[in-house]
Amino acid sequence: MSEEASRSRDIKALARVLGADCVGICEARATPESRRFGDWLDRGYGGVMDYLERSRAKREDPALLFDGARSLIVIGLLYHERDGEEGAPPANVSRYARGDDYHDVLLDRLRALGAAIEAREKEPFSWKAWVDTGPVVERVAAAYAGLGWAGKNTCLIHPEYGSYLFLGVIATDLACAFDEPIGDQCGTCTACLDACPTGALVEPHWLDATRCIAYTTIEDPGPIPADLREGHGGHVYGCDICQEVCPWNHRRGRVVPDDPLGLRVHFEAREAWRAPTLHWLLELDEEAWRESTRGSAMRRSKYRGLMRNALVAAGNSGDASLRQPVERFLTTGDEMLSEHAHWALDRLAT
């Protein structure tokens, strides 16, 4: 066995011992898929996420992540193992955000893996770790590392686990043996494209983020475009629709890996966010919001963004009893929230 193959074998074994549900390694290089990131930005699909443009070159070519970068180690953690739920709650929060912040949980695993690799190696080497915050297109790296393929909804789909996976990446200058990509297995299925209520999936493998509910409820702090509001339904933070309809997440005999370290407990829904009501959400003050989102990825939308989202959901609910909690946003002095409250009240009046 070559040194590179032995190193890769040991790294994967260490990753699994540290709780990774899947792990693979690919070369840190530009690929046709990573190059498409620039085309995606040029189409304007990145919206207000200006940080993506600033890191464009590195996202297109991970060899530029740092001087000497050679290998990308990609690990995945499963965060949802049920095949469905008893209907959607009136205020729908994306599954990934209902528990502890995945950035913290997964980054802790990556740092532990980096330290374990350091203990294995006799010579010093360089490495950097990221969880959804670095200049890496994780799903492309994961696909080339053999963890699955980028589906038509742009999510990484694992052939056994489905798409409810958190991905983390370690870039290193270590020479490793690389895994083989699995290849696209979506076939002729268009379930995700057909189900998207705002038309964000403009064509297979192309997501216009500016129309995506995950973007409009989290990333963009401004008003939700009027023509997209009805499509938001009851979503107040993120959206899982394109994953919920994916056959690979409902496949008979779908594998759920063991969790000997109990990592998945971090991703279980907190009581407050298991099935929140719009009444409760709209009556939250900022201090209560801060307390209920402590250590949660839901902090990203900020209090104002969550209230904006809840107002749109209220307008879509058809529940006239929400008029009173909506009306309080008419007098807060916040022009954006006031406009969304007027929109909701108009809808509730019909």
Confidence class of residue 84 from pLDDT cuts 50, 70 and 90? Answer: very low
Confidence class of residue 88 from pLDDT cuts 50, 70 and 90? Answer: low
* Residue 170 neighbours by CB under 8 Å, 6+ apart: 72, 73, 75, 110, 113, 114, 127, 128, 129
Domain region containing 328 = 191-348
Q: Are residues 326 and 275 in the same domain?
A: yes
Whether the pLDDT of residue 211 is over 90: the answer is: yes
Q: Are residues 18 and 135 in the same domain?
A: yes
Q: Are residues 199 and 329 in the same domain?
A: yes
Q: Give the domain-ending residue among 115, 141, 172.
A: 172
Residue 82: predicted pLDDT: 52
pLDDT tens, position by position, 112-122: 999 999 999 99
pLDDT tens, position by position, 147-191: 999 999 999 999 999 999 999 999 999 999 999 999 999 999 999
- Within a domain: 325: yes
* Residue 171 neighbours by CB under 8 Å, 6+ apart: 28, 62, 65, 66, 69, 71, 72, 73, 127, 128, 129, 130, 136
What mean pLDDT, rounded, does the chain reach?
95
User: Mean pLDDT over residues 323-339, rounded?
Assistant: 97
Whether the pLDDT of residue 253 is over 90: the answer is: no
Active site residue 132: yes
**Polymer length in residues for the chain:** 350
> Residue written as tokens 């990774």?
20
Q: Report d(CA 177, CA 71) in Å as an integer.
A: 9
pLDDT tens, position by position, 50-71: 999 999 999 999 999 999 999 9
- Within a domain: 42: yes
> What is the DSSP track for 208-223?
-GGG-HHIIIII--SP
Q: Give the domain-ending residue among 122, 145, 172.
A: 172
Whether the pLDDT of residue 252 is over 90: the answer is: no
Annotated active-site residue in 10, 61, 100, 132: 132
Q: Give the domain-ending residue among 126, 141, 172.
A: 172
Q: Are residues 162 and 237 in the same domain?
A: no
Q: Are residues 291 and 165 in the same domain?
A: no
Quote the number of domains for the chain: 2
Is the distance from CB of 156 to CB of 53 less than 8 angstroms? no
